[in-house]
Chains A and B, each alone.
Chain A
Amino acid sequence: MSDHDHDHGHGDDGHGHHGGHGHGSPWIQHHYDDAQHQFDSGKLGIWFFLVQEVLFFSGLFVAYILYRYHHPEIYAYAHSYLDVKWGAINTAVLIISSLTAAWAVRCAQLAQRRGLIFCLAVTIACACGFLGIKYVEYSHKIHERILFGKKFDPCIASAGNHLLNKENYCPGVKTSVVWDAKTNKADRGCLDAPTGYDWDPALKGIQGKCVVNELTMSGTGANRKEVSRRPVEACAPSPDHGSGHGGGHGKQTYPCWTLEQNPHVCPKGPGAMVHYGDHTSRGSTVEIEVTCEAVPAPVEPKDALAPVDGKLERGEASFKKPVTPSKHDLKHEFQSGPPPEHTNMFFSIYFAMTGLHGLHVLFGIFVYIWLLVRAIKGHFTPDYFGPVDYAALYWHLVDLIWIFLFPLLYLIH
């Protein structure tokens, strides 16, 4: 009355019901005819689950494709913030773990309990290694404020300066100084110079007065033009930095330099130093222009015979001991120009995709720990090894998704 069809495919074979006698393993459930029925059902189930997982990630891949299509310059610029070395190590780690996951299935099928335990343990170890490397990458980015949304601000991160070089002007970060002729000292300047960074000591220029103008623009693209402008005070309070911008840069919008930091110079003389869109809160109609204006030479010291500090020359302020840029810094030297507007979007997609993938790796670790415990207890037999098989399929998908993520995010430019 009940027909058993041992076809292993996902076919539409009829199965009889009301078997339920004499299952080999205690893990065969009551409503299945036999172990094969349970295994086939579970296999079909895990495949449907994997299809669903692919669709879960698909939204992010679609977002990636759309943003990349519309803003290729962001991707070209931003992907170099990612370290290919770590990404490649992660790829290798995951591939090894996929191998051990598949091997574990084979061990279970052949009743090789020790091999099974070993393979499961190695899989877990590799997965943890993957997460450890992700931790390293993420913490580096948090440290350098290479994050998403409003938090993308490597220019003001204290350690994010390796991206700056002579030519690279972060919007809003530019050097100039207001020289107080009466005191013959730098009084205040235009920019929030990142602490710890040292400009090339060969940089000479003139000390200049920094003028900040707020421009009202109209139109877009080729039709964009200035409608009006008004001067604003450097260091005037910010429209938006009040909310969670952290790090003591609380309320400044117009770049503001203080005496405690190194005074710097206008590297190229008078003229517009930087011109950036103040998009964060004022719509696309307002832009900020910071101009360096030449000021008269400082007054000579009163005492003509007093020694002039050798380091203080006209146009040069006192510098801390210059630091040779590290290899890490030099690697990014080719960057030129400020980050394109909305470079943060690359990182939104990056963190969303790698974060979601990392979460799936974490879930996989929990699943494999559970499998390891069961394997040690001896639950898996050649008759019943479904969970090991299904988990390996899941793990292969996690690996496969990384294999797509890695080139898309790290490699192509």
Chain B
Amino acid sequence: MSADLDNTVSYLEVKKGLGSWLYTLDHKRIGMMYLCGILFSLMLGGAFALLVRTELFSPGMTIVGQDWYNKFFTLHGAVMVFLVIIPGIPAALGNMVLPIQLGAPDVAFPKLNLASFYLWCSGAFLLLLATGLGGVDTGWTFYTPYSIETQTAVIPAVAGAFLLGFSSIFTGLNFLVTIHKFRPAHMGWFQMPLNLWALYATALMQVLATPVLGITLLLLFVERFMHIGIFDPTLGGDPVLFQHFFWFYSHPAVYIMIVPGMGVISEMITTFARKPIFGYRFIAYSSVALALFSFLVWGHHMFVSGQSRLANMVFSALTFSVGIPSAIKVFNWAATLYKGDIRLDTPMLYVLSFLILFTIGGLTGIFLAVLSIDVHLHDTYFVVAHFHYVMMGSTLVAFVGALHYWWPKLSGRMYPETIGRVCAWGVFIGFNLTFLPQFVMGSRGMPRRYWDYDPEYTLYHRISTVGAFILGVSLFVVVCYLAWSLKRGKKATKNPWGASTLEWEAPTPPTVFNFPEPPPEVEIYNYDDLVEVPNANEDGVTNWERRPAADKPATSSHH
């Protein structure tokens, strides 16, 4: 199908009709379809979150009883984790951008890529089916024995998550092979953009960790269906074994979430500071270090589960060590801003939000790594706040920022800048209002997954609920104006931000095979060549052009 397509026309225009999208092998179209699904799931998961927070506005029953509340928080977690945040940046943005950054015409296995998308759709369908069949009330973590005996629709939910796992595995596999085999001759490992290092580390984790989730969910499925007994204590099984299996995947999973976020932050921060990223090699190495270390710390979710004290000691020590690469990255990013030329477009606002929110998220993780403090804080709202800071405040913020960053290139349109900045502030303020009070609630003893709570926490919950609505409305408006801009936004130029990586040399939007002519060789993170040309098109959008090589002045040191 692909060989006969016209490689001079934008990939969005080259063929029309629903079939051309559903049967496409073009990684950009697949990424765009993922994006639509993911943003829809974000709104769905967000709706569940707002239902949860509304119920928590007052102690006791506010809008629904316990059964529904338990289902709302479970579905919020399952939809957000499995449909939004884990696929998020790799499936939507990675698919669209990775081959272009390599100068390749597509990923290594385009049909597998489409299959991954359909697996995502099937998994999403099954989760929606579970919702329709009355929901699931086990928590997104599906702990046994409760998940074995509850009468809710666990089986479709678990089957959906299983398929989503394979979608993730195949995407990761695709990216690994593409990065190994489709780099141009001049692009060695240390000439790759940091986004690709991040996607590579993520893909490693996807391929190595997700199968363990697969077998865990398969065993849970068989346990519910046929009472195989492996996790059921009445049959001789061990419920804590489920936790080990589950967290062996789910801890690397949270790094699958954050590492691509770090990758796109690295790209954006260097572009908007107009200077090379500080400590390129350290950031690259730390991405891979995070990927490897992430496999060693799963037990820190289980400090009070009955695990031995020796195991707790080992996991606590390893957990501290896994925090160090993240700290290195934050320092490097901050140093990138030093003596830069900083422009506060919307993506940069998200980058700055990320820096602050990821710092809070990472620091609060330290509380939880200290064994005796974790005994007090485990399964309280402190943990809820911590993981929202890293999963939402960091990963989702990075995702939304990166979406704005690459939006011009991928859609050919600019989003509206003013409202973009307003929403970025809305997200930052709403997010902090929602989750800062939760730290205090947690350390004061408020347990999580509680429908009812003691009255002394009421004020904190109310602040949190108000913040959640501000956050939700801001994100909703973002999705709305992005959709609006597809038809009504200003036309984008080739390189509106003056970025230095290869994808900005492709046309806006790229052709079906990304480059109509062989892509040039560019030196990434070198901004000396780029000259700002304001009002470069009929909509007044800025463009940045590369000066010819002969006029290049002495370059600043690069790696």
Contacts and interface: CB of A to CB of B under 8 A. Distances in A.
Answer yes or no: A and B touching, Cβ < 8 Å: yes
Interface of A: 1-3, 10, 12, 14-18, 29-31, 37, 40-42, 44-45, 48-49, 51-53, 55-60, 62-63, 66, 148-151, 279-281, 341-342, 344-345, 348-349, 351-352, 356
A12 B183 contact: yes
Contact of A17 (B105, B112, B169, B215): B105
Interface in B306-363: none
Given A31-B104, A48-B173, A59 B245 contact: yes
Interface in B188-234: 188-189, 207-212, 214-216, 218-219, 222, 226-230, 232, 234
6 contacts: A14-B185, A15-B182, A17-B103, A45-B177, A52-B211, A348-B228
B181 A16 contact: no
B215 A60 contact: yes
Contacts of B187: 14
Contacts of A56: 211-212, 214-215
Contact of B226 (A42, A62, A149): A149
A77 B109 CA distance: 49
Contacts of B180: 10, 12, 41, 44
Interface string B160-192: 000000000100011011001111111111000
Contacts of A280: 234
A30 B105 contact: yes
B218 A356 contact: yes
Given A31-B105, A49-B173, A63 B229 contact: no
A358 to B, nearest CB: 14
B183 A15 contact: yes
A16 B183 CA distance: 8
A149 to B, nearest CB: 4
B108 interface: yes
A203 B169 CA distance: 62
Contact of A148 (B189, B212, B229, B234): B229
B247 to A, nearest CB: 12
A42 B211 CA distance: 20
Interface stretch (B29-37, B235-243, B410-418): B235-243
A267 B369 CA distance: 62
Given A48-B207, A56-B212, A344-B236, 7 more contacts: A17-B104, A17-B105, A44-B177, A45-B173, A56-B214, A59-B215, A148-B228
Contacts of B214: 56
B173 A18 contact: no
Given A30-B3, A149-B229, A348 B237 contact: yes
Contacts of A17: 103-105, 182, 184, 518-519
Interface size range on B against A:
35 or more
Question: Chain B CB within 10 Å — which of A2, A44, A55, A281 has the most?
Answer: A55
B267 interface: no
A349 to B, nearest CB: 7
A62 B518 CA distance: 50
B229 A344 contact: yes
A3 B185 contact: yes
B305 interface: no
A149 B224 CA distance: 11
Nearest to B227: A149
A322 to B, nearest CB: 36
Question: Chain A CB within 10 Å — which of B106, B182, B188 has the most?
Answer: B182
A296 B408 CA distance: 98
A14 B2 CA distance: 24
B235 A48 contact: no
Question: Chain B CB within 10 Å — which of A3, A18, A59, A60 has the most?
Answer: A59
Contact of B241 (A3, A48, A66): A66
A44 B180 CA distance: 9
A6 to B, nearest CB: 13
A14 B230 contact: no
B110 interface: yes
Nearest to B105: A31
B272 interface: no
B174 to A, nearest CB: 8
B235 A345 contact: yes
A151 B215 CA distance: 22
Interface in B532-547: none
Nearest to B184: A14
A281 B232 CA distance: 12
A52 B173 contact: yes
B82 interface: no
Contacts of A342: 235-236
B229 A348 contact: yes
B120 interface: no
A31 B109 CA distance: 9
A234 to B, nearest CB: 24
A41 B230 contact: no
Contacts of A48: 173, 176-177, 207
B443 to A, nearest CB: 35
A308 to B, nearest CB: 49
A151 B209 CA distance: 33
Contacts of A42: 109
Nearest to A10: B180
| A-B complex: 6 closest residue pairs judged by Cβ atoms | A342-B236, A14-B185, A59-B215, A56-B211, A149-B229, A149-B227
